[in-house]
Amino acid sequence: MKLTREQIAFFKDNGYLILKNALDVQSCAGAQDRMWAELPENCRLKRDDPATHIGPFADDDVQDDALHMRKDFRWQIRQFGTEQWLVDLVYTKDLIEVAEQLLGEGLIEPPIVGGKPMGSDGPAWPGGPVDPAVNEGVRGIYCTLPYGDRPREPESSHTDGHPFCLGIVGLIDDVPPDGGAFRIWPGSHRRLYPTCQMQYDQPRVPFYEHMPSHKGIVHTPEYLRELEAIMSDTPSVDCWGQQGDVVLWHHRLAHMAGHNYSQVIRQAVLHDFNRKDLDLLRLDPPQQDMWRDWSSEVRATDTRYSKTFAEEQRLPAKLLEKTA
């Protein structure tokens, strides 16, 4: 699969790109089977009874394990991350081609089948998010249960704390609008990239229970100010879609796991495509040219695209004004 000039232009400008039908739907269905088979026999959640799909997880069904987490409205299975079948779902000829087109031919680090999945070292601190320090494969299958009658909540966003180059979120089942799909803030990658101390990392410090303000990660005041500005001046995009659709995203793009106001469980596979030399690249601070580590094709592409194309990508009306 080759991206068009316009797709690359849109990705550069907005930090995301929705690709329809980019995963094999048969394999997506297979991934769902594997996912459901992981639930204990006596779990309240039953695949063939949609009434049980509404969150949160019942107390008895909660599992606080970074490799297979069920808690509140989130169900995240990371233990599959280095199994052949899940690697095969996303590390496909098509998506490798796309990743190579964006990051450079022959430069993509392959996942290690049988390696250590993300979550192998548990949470980053007791009760904290999963420690991303280990990940030799796919991030995992991430689900969000429907919120039921939980009141509507404001959006919040973040960028990820671990170094990676190009993220993908692939839908392994249909996700309706407002159904908990990946939600992104277009253009935020261009505004946040220069505010970080390091090009790819977010500096981590110990988490102290009695001094919680840093929450294990240090952000610059510029980053925090810019993220707040983005949240108030930029409308977000809900990356809902059909089974097999994929969204590509830049590593500094502000995003969140969307709130799920639908009746169905949001089911997605998350993966990072990284350059083999990321460990060298990450030593550098943000560069004058934020596309330095991307392919020469990406670097040479200007950011013109049509209004029709931007609309297909669901770019909010407010951001459409400047397109040709």
Binding mask 161-180 for ligand AKG (x = CB under 6 A): --------x-----------
Binding mask 106-145 for Fe ion (x = CB under 5 A): ----------------------------------------
Q: Which distant-in-sequence residues (6+ apart) come within 8 Å of 312 by Cβ?
A: none
Strands 255-257 and 16-19, by their bridges, are unpaired
| 196, 179 contact by CB (below 8 A) | no
CB under 5 to 8 A by kind: which of ligand AKG, Fe ion, none does 257 bind? ligand AKG
Any contact of residue 160 with ligand AKG (CB under 6 A)? yes
Any contact of residue 272 with Fe ion (CB under 5 A)? no
Residues 247 to 276 in contact with ligand AKG, rule: CB under 6 A: 255, 257
Closer CB to ligand AKG, residue 182 or residue 240? 182
At its nearest, how many Å lie between Fe ion and the CB of residue 225? 20
Separation of alpha carbons 150 and 132, rounded Å: 30
Cα 237 versus chain centre, distance: 13
CB under 5 to 8 A by kind: which of Fe ion, ligand AKG, none does 240 bind? none
Q: Any alpha helices (H) in the chain, and if so which ranges?
A: 5-14, 25-37, 84-90, 93-103, 188-192, 221-233, 278-281, 296-300, 307-312, 317-320
Position among 16, 73, 147, 182 found at the interface with ligand AKG (CB under 6 A) = 182
Any contact of residue 160 with Fe ion (CB under 5 A)? yes
Task: Tell the residue number behind the tokens 């639908």, with chain if given.
Answer: 262
| 252, 219 contact by CB (below 8 A) | no
| 13, 301 contact by CB (below 8 A) | no
Query: Which residue's C-beta sits nearest to ligand AKG?
Result: 257
Position among 75, 80, 142, 294 found at the interface with ligand AKG (CB under 6 A) = 142
Applying CB under 5 A, which residues contact Fe ion?
160
